[in-house]
Amino acid sequence: MEKIAYLFPGQGSQYIGMGKELYNNYQECREVFDEADERLNIKLSVMMFEGSKENLDRTEYTQPAIVAMSIAAYKALSRHGIKPYVTAGLSLGEYSSLTVSGVFTLSQVIPLVQKRGRFMQDAVPEGKGKMCAILGLSEDKVKEACDKAKSIGLVEPANYNCPGQIVIAGEVKAVDEAANIAKVLGALRCVSLPVSAPFHTKMLASAADNLRIELDKLTLGEMMIPVISNVTADYINSVAEVKSLLYEQVMSSVLWEQTIRRMTADGVRHFVEIGPGRTLSGFVKKIDRSLNTYHVEDETSLRETVSALEGIC
């Protein structure tokens, strides 16, 4: 039997209308969105299906919306009996991954990620931090650029997405300086990202502390599907590790390329991106073009993915 990995996207993949087709077509998906609405005491589903982009892009709504959409898409795929060997999610997507694994319930994770969004947004005053994607430069050179800019302020790698795409984050002036140095070192482009906080840096320490308080209130379930952590790019060995890893994740680099390479080292050749967009599929292909990618976010992609996977598992 071929090994399949389920991948869950993070913040930035959201769009108006995401999940609406799944909501209309499947009872299991309706139940996910209805529970999310109930847990947050707002019509999150209406915001997702027909609201304004401005509202959906607010971090406190973006995070539960993406998780709800991802879990709904997973439910639709699960109807066909396809079983993953391993799962992982990029940043916020790790919460979706842990939910399908059985560690979180839906009623736990939806309010948790809403609070996570608020904590992350409030941790750094607007205009003090930024994120920038460095394209076409090696990991060592990106680290060198950050090290040279540290005299100005905090800046560090935040996301190792794939070869030639590393996101840096930190204080505005330090990030800008690191980007300028990166260009001198040979970067093809440096693209400022439309986010208002320097995610996955030490500047979010207060968000991590607040998140830990919320995590400590929760009783976690057993992990039924193996999950690879953003922080370590290795398997989470026990549920006891989950809370500390999620605490660290807020302030630590996301090791996404390393996560995919860990999966391929274990023989995974098929990757299903579950949730809005196809960003992670693009990263996988840039890591290794021979890998097979699929996605599930609407009826058409669901049918195509099921048809492809039924022939190999």
Residues labelled as active-site residues: 91, 200
Question: Quick one: which of 32, 33, 29, 35 has its CA closest to 47?
Answer: 33
Q: Torsion-angle region of residue 159: left (phi > 0), alpha (psi -120 to 50) or beta? A: beta
Question: Quick one: which of 88, 95, 186 has its CA closest to 135?
Answer: 186
Phi, psi for 110 (deg, rounded to 5): -65, -55
Phi, psi for 274 (deg, rounded to 5): -115, 115
Q: Which residue has the tokens 């690191």?
A: 178
End-to-end CA distance of the chain: 6
Question: Quick one: which of 243, 212, 242, 211 has its CA closest to 227?
Answer: 242
Question: Quick one: which of 286, 205, 262, 227 has its CA closest to 93?
Answer: 227
Phi, psi for 8 (deg, rounded to 5): -120, 130
Other C-beta atoms closer than 10 Å to the C-beta of 172 total 17
Q: What tokens were used for 13?
A: 């993949």
Contact 163, 286 (CB under 8 A): yes
Rounded to an integer, what distance in angstroms lies between the CA atom of residue 299 and that of residue 199?
Answer: 33
